[in-house]
């Protein structure tokens, strides 16, 4: 019998015990083998566009921890890069782009989009061939709003004030930008699925900074558009949405976008998470700093999630990406605790 991909079962609404697990940013700087490959690659973007090395780092956490899902190694900002915007990553400063002006939005160059992203599709193809049969391969993109925040500010900011201001002052341009990003991101996900991705995740990391009307217009509607476009081609492929920080908007995000699984950040109370789980699979939501701290903080955090959400469709994960200072022994302890649950 073929080995089962438990993440896919959970996304169909089944309860799997112990729950499947993986970690956001599981290939990253907390791993010495990642840092070693990263050095050989040159820049971070060189690594993203080098299929052999991107495959290598994607597989590292699978080989070390046996996670149930593997996420393509890339970055959400390859999408604006492939649309002709310049992009650099500077050590300790994160991504740097030239801020886009309203009058440049219609000049975004979609012609070479898939040509520029061909190395990513090649990475996905190689990964599906090399991963264990039972490991689910997750492709991803950033949500249009989150990608737009970096395109507009040119770098990360604590509250995305530049993008929010832009959206009020240049509302037509903002809608146009989000529409282009939704269309291209959907095409990007479709190509990843074609290449072998079993699931796709949409990272909406900055959905928590918007008021009600803006949340509807800039988060919900563009993501709903991506879901419609992907489903028109691949109706069976599950889509995980992760509207980090969405708070009271979490429930409507699932119902209004049509996503299959809902990623929860660590601030979502477990009682609320339990209610959200009635609507379908949830993924999350351990505070990544419990994993840094280890010991009782880690054990209690893991136990609380398993006790509350373990009897329903759950993909165990962190509530955001793992941080570079996380000790590997703590990851091992977390995996052991989750896997020893029946
Ligand atoms: C907002 C965002 C970005 N990228 C991403 C998001 C959404 C998720 C989130 O909120 O964290 C998504 C992302 N970035 C990366 C992945 C790879 C897959 C994975 O293992 O999860 C994924 C899914 C690799 C990466 N993306 C980045 C790194 C670190 C770069 C390095 O190795 O030098 C990695 C492994 C760089 C990056 N990329 C981005 C930032 C802000 C930074 C700098 C912060 C940092 O350095 O950690 C943009």
Question: Which pLDDT score is estimated for 3?
Answer: 77
pTM over 0.95: yes
Q: How many domains does the chain have?
A: 1
Is 229 considered catalytic here? no
- Burial zone of 79 (CB within 10 Å; 0-12 exposed, 13-18 middle, 19+ buried): buried
Residue 1 has pLDDT above 60, yes or no: no
CB 54 within 8 A of CB 27: no
CB 208 within 8 A of CB 131: no
Report the CATH number that the domain containing residue 156 is assigned in CATH. 3.20.20.210
Question: Which pLDDT score is estimated for 2?
Answer: 61
260-310 tens-digit pLDDT: 999 999 999 999 999 999 999 999 999 999 999 999 999 999 999 999 999
**DSSP string for 224-262:** HHHHHHHHHH-TTS-EEEE-TT-GGGHHHHHHHH--SEE
- First vs last C-alpha separation in the chain: 23
CB 319 within 8 A of CB 24: no
Q: Which of 5, 30, 34, 38 is catalytic?
A: 38
Is 68 considered catalytic here? no
ipTM of the prediction = 0.93
> What rounded mean pLDDT belongs to the chain?
97
109-132 tens-digit pLDDT: 999 999 999 999 999 999 999 999
164-178 tens-digit pLDDT: 999 999 999 999 999
Q: Provide the token pair at 251.
A: 């429930």
3-class DSSP state of 30: coil
Residue 342 known to bind ligand = no
Averaged pLDDT for residues 173-195: 98
Q: Provide the token pair at 269.
A: 């109370």
3-class DSSP state of 73: coil
Mutate which of 45, 65, 75, 96 for ligand 1? The one with the most ligand atoms within 8 Å of its CB, which is 75
The alpha carbon of 319 and the centre of ligand 1 are apart by a number of angstroms equal to 14
Q: Provide the token pair at 321.
A: 């990406």
CA angle 129, 132, 138 (to 5 degrees): 75
Mutate which of 27, 72, 76, 324 for ligand 1? The one with the most ligand atoms within 8 Å of its CB, which is 76
Closest CA to 145 of 208, 67, 233, 65: 208
Q: CA-CA distances (angstroms) from residue 255 to 120, 131, 190, 224, 258?
A: 30, 33, 22, 10, 6
Nearest CA to ligand 1 atom 16: 75
Residue 205 known to bind ligand = yes
CA distance 151 to 100: 6
Averaged pLDDT for residues 149-162: 97
Report the relative pairing of strands 94-97 and 87-90 from DSSP bridges. antiparallel
What confidence category does residue 342 fall into, taking pLDDT thresholds of 50, 70 and 90? low
Averaged pLDDT for residues 12-31: 98
Pocket flag, ligand 1, residue 148 (CB < 6 Å)? no
Residue 150 known to bind ligand = yes
Residue 49 known to bind ligand = no
Looking at the domain assignment, is residue 165 inside a domain? yes
Q: H/E/C letters for each residue in 116-162?
A: HCHHHHHHHHHHHHHCCCCCEEEEEEECHHHHHHHHHHCCCCCCCHH
Strand order in the sheet with 69-71: 69-71, 136-142, 199-203, 239-242, 261-263, 282-286, 314-318
Question: Which pLDDT score is estimated for 234?
Answer: 98
Looking at the domain assignment, is residue 292 inside a domain? yes
Looking at the domain assignment, is residue 1 inside a domain? no
Residue 134 has pLDDT above 60, yes or no: yes
57-89 tens-digit pLDDT: 999 999 999 999 999 999 999 999 999 999 999
**DSSP string for 204-216:** -TTGGG--HHHII
CA distance 19 to 329: 20
Nearest CA to ligand 1 atom 9: 205
300-309 tens-digit pLDDT: 999 999 999 9
In percent, how much of the chain has pLDDT > 70? 99
Pocket flag, ligand 1, residue 95 (CB < 6 Å)? yes
Q: CA-CA distances (angstroms) from residue 275 to 19, 247, 300, 308?
A: 18, 13, 21, 10
Residue carrying the six token digits 């201001």: 165
Pocket flag, ligand 1, residue 245 (CB < 6 Å)? no
For residue 258, the enclosing domain spans 6-339
Averaged pLDDT for residues 308-323: 98
Q: Which of 29, 125, 175, 339 is catalytic?
A: 29
């Amino acid at each position: 019998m073929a080995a089962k991909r438990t993440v896919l079962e959970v996304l169909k609404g089944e309860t799997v015990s112990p729950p499947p697990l993986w970690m956001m940013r599981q290939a990253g700087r907390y791993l010495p083998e990642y840092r070693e490959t990263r050095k050989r690659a040159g820049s971070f973007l060189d690594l993203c566009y080098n299929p052999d090395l991107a495959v290598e780092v994607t597989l590292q956490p699978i080989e070390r921890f046996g996670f149930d899902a593997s996420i393509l190694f890339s970055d959400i900002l390859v999408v604006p890069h492939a649309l002709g915007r310049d992009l650099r990553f500077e050590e300790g400063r994160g991504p740097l782009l030239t801020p886009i002006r309203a009058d440049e939005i219609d000049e975004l160059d979609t012609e070479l989009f898939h040509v520029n992203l061909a190395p990513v599709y090649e990475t996905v193809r190689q990964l599906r061939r090399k991963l264990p049969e039972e490991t689910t391969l997750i492709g991803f993109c950033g949500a249009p709003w989150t990608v737009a925040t970096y395109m507009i500010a040119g770098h990360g900011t604590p509250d995305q004030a530049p993008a929010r201001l832009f959206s009020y002052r240049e509302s037509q341009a903002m809608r146009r930008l989000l529409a282009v990003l939704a269309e291209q991101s959907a095409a990007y996900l479709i190509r990843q699925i074609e290449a072998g991705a079993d699931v796709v995740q949409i990272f909406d990391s900055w959905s928590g900074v918007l008021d009600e009307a803006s949340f509807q217009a800039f988060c919900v509607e563009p993501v709903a558009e991506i879901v419609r476009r992907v489903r028109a081609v691949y109706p069976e492929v599950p889509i995980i949405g992760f509207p980090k920080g969405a708070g009271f908007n979490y429930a409507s995000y699932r119902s209004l976008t049509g996503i299959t699984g809902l990623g929860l950040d660590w601030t979502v109370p477990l009682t609320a998470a339990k209610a959200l789980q009635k609507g379908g699979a949830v993924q999350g939501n351990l505070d990544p700093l419990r994993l840094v701290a280890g010991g009782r903080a880690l054990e209690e955090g893991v136990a609380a999630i398993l006790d509350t959400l373990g009897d329903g469709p759950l993909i165990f994960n962190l509530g955001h990406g793992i941080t570079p200072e996380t000790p590997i022994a703590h990851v091992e302890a977390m995996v052991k605790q989750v896997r020893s649950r029946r």
